[in-house]
A and B are shown apart, each in its own frame.
Chain A
C-alpha cells in the first residue's frame, strides 16, 4: 500500500502540469498588467494637444524638472483634468464590460452571451435616457434626491430588469436555450429601444444632441465628477466578481451538477445578475453603448488561457481596459481634431470578429 502510493506520487510528479493551464494564465495576466501600464501611459501622453504632456507624466513619475513650472501648469491641467479622468474612466468601463461579458457567458453557459447583444445594454440605455429626458419633470423627485447617482442607478435598474426577464424566459429546468436567449434579447432590445424612441421624441433640441452622441458611445466628457458617481459602483461590482469564479466554473457542468458540488446556485445566479447589471448600467450611464468588448475579450482569452474563471475574469478586466483605451486612442486621433464616438470603433472591429466566432463555431454550438 505504501509502495503503491510512493510509486503513484512519483508518476504524478512527472505529469502534474499536464492539462493545468494556471501557470500559463498567471504569465498572461502578468503581461496584461504590463500592457495596461504601457497603454495608460500612451493614452496620457497622446492627444489633440501638443506632446509636452510627456513632461507632465515624466514629472509625475520621476519628479518635477526645475525651471519648467509655467509650461507644466497648462499641461498639468490637460493631463490631470482631461486625459487622466478619461483614462481612468476608460479602464473602469473596459474592465466592467469585458468582465460582465465573461460572467454572463458563464451564467448562460454560452460563449455568445454578451450584455450588448442580448439587450441588457438597451435596457440600461432606456433607464439612462429616461433620467436625461424626464429628469427635470416627471422624475424630478428621483433625480433631485439621488443627484449624480440618479443616472447610473436608473441605468442599473433598466439593465437588471432586462437580465431578469431574459433569464426567466431563456432558462427552463436549468437549461438555457441559446436561440431563445438571443431571440428574447432581440425582442427586449427592440422594446427598450422603442420606449427610448418615445422618450427621444419628447426630448428638446439640446437633449436630443446630447442623447445622440451619448448613444453612439463615447468616453469624451469624462470628468472627475462622473468617475465619482460611477467609479464606486463599477469597482464594487468588479470586486464581487472574483468570488463568483469557482461557482461559475462549476456551473459549466450544469446547474444540477454545480449544486451537487456544493455551490449555492441560486445565490450565485442572482449575485452574477445583479453584479453584471450594476457594471453594465454604470458603464452605459457615462459612456452610452460600447458594444462587443464583452464578447471579443473573453473569447480571445479563452483561446489563450482556457475557460477557468479564476483567471479569465481578472484577465478579461485587464485586456478589456487595454482594448478600450486603444479604441479610444483610435477614436480620438483618426479624424482629429474631431473625434469619432468610441462605440463606432468597437463595433467596426468587434462585429466582424463576432461573425468569425460564429463561423468557427458553426455546427459546434447548438443553437
Chain B
C-alpha cells in the first residue's frame, strides 16, 4: 500500500508538484502519464525519497520520511530514466549492485546466481561479461532493470508487498522489449507486488495499467481505470492536442497496437 497525501515539491523556490494525492494497492500497476514537464519524474523522486516534500507519504503504513535508506531499499527499487557510468563495470557487476543494500528475498546462497536470472528475464542472456559502457541505450536500460529486479526479486517479503518505481522503463526500447518489460511489471504485480511506472505510450498504458494517474502542470488532473480516464476531452485538456480515443485510421493506413501481441 502506498499512500501519498497532499504532496508538494519545490525545487529552487519553484513549485514543481502541487497537492498530489496518490494511492495504490499491491497487485496493481499504476501508470503516471502527462506531458513533458508536468512533474511526473519529480513526483516519483519524492516517492523514492530523493527530494524534500511537504505532505505525507507512507509505504506499507510506514512514514517514508522516517525510513532509513536500507529500510526503503527493502520495500522498493527505483529505475531511473538513464544511468551513465565513468568506470568500466561489466554488465554482471552492475546487476549485482542490486544486491548491495536490500534483500532480494531468495534463499540464502542463491543471490550469487540472481544476476544471470535477472538478465535472462530482460532478454539479455549472454550479456553478463560485456562492458556496460559499450551497450546501446536500450540495452543499458534493460541492464538497469535487471539490477532493479535483483533488489526486490521476491514481490512479497516477510508477508509485505514490495514495489517497483520505474521512470520511463520502455522509452528507449524496441517494441518487442517494450512488451517484455511491461510483461515483467505485470507479472511482478500479479505475484503480489506493486508497480509505479511513468509512461508516455498511451496504448501501452491502457493495456498494462490498472490505474492511470494523469499529471498536468504539477497537479493531478485525473486518476482511475484506463476506461474512465482516457477520454478525448482529457487528452485535449492535458496534452493540448485533439485526438480521438478508439478511432481507426482512415483508409488502408497501417497501424500496430501492442494489444495485438500474441
Chain A residues proximal to chain B, CB less than 8 Å: 8-9, 11-12, 15-16, 18-21, 109-111, 246, 249-250, 252-254, 256-257, 259-265, 302, 306-308, 365
Contact = CB atoms under 8 A, between A and B. Distances in A.
B177 interface: no
B105 interface: no
23 contacts: A8-B120, A11-B116, A15-B126, A19-B128, A249-B93, A249-B97, A249-B100, A250-B97, A252-B89, A252-B97, A256-B50, A256-B78, A259-B69, A261-B97, A262-B73, A262-B100, A262-B102, A263-B100, A263-B101, A264-B69, A264-B70, A302-B88, A306-B88
Given A16-B116, A252-B89, 15 more contacts: A8-B117, A11-B116, A20-B128, A109-B87, A246-B100, A249-B93, A250-B100, A252-B86, A256-B80, A257-B80, A259-B49, A260-B48, A260-B49, A260-B78, A262-B101
| 4 tightest A-B CB contacts, nearest first | A262-B101, A262-B73, A19-B92, A307-B87
B53 to A, nearest CB: 15
A306 B128 contact: no
B73 A21 contact: no
Interface in B122-157: 126, 128-130, 151
A273 B245 CA distance: 56
Given A257-B83, A260-B77, A307-B89, A12 B113 contact: yes
Interface of B: 45, 48-50, 68-70, 72-74, 76-78, 80, 83, 85-94, 97-98, 100-102, 112-113, 116-117, 120, 126, 128-130, 151
Q: Is the interface of B mostly helix, strand, loop or mixed?
A: mixed
Given A252-B89, A306-B90, A15 B100 contact: no
Given A8-B120, A19-B128, A265 B69 contact: yes
Q: Is the interface of A mostly helix, strand, loop or mixed?
A: loop
B10 to A, nearest CB: 14
Contacts of B89: 252, 306-308
Contacts of A9: 113
B93 A308 contact: yes
A259 B49 CA distance: 9
B70 A12 contact: no
A2 to B, nearest CB: 14
Given A249-B100, A250-B100, A257-B80, A263 B117 contact: no
Contacts of A249: 93, 97, 100
Contact of B92 (A20, A110, A250, A365): A20
B76 to A, nearest CB: 8
B251 to A, nearest CB: 46
Which of B74, B85, B87, B93 has the largest count of A CB atoms less than 10 A from its CB? B87
Contacts of B117: 8, 12
A110 B86 CA distance: 6
Contacts of B83: 253-254, 257
Given A262-B101, A263-B100, A264-B69, A19 B91 contact: yes
B195 to A, nearest CB: 15
A19 B96 CA distance: 10
Contact of A18 (B50, B128, B151): B128
A155 B157 CA distance: 49
B81 to A, nearest CB: 11
A227 B188 CA distance: 58
A111 B133 CA distance: 15
A130 B31 CA distance: 61
Contacts of A16: 112-113, 116
A148 to B, nearest CB: 39
Contacts of A110: 86
A257 B76 CA distance: 12
B90 A21 contact: yes
A262 B70 contact: yes
B119 to A, nearest CB: 9
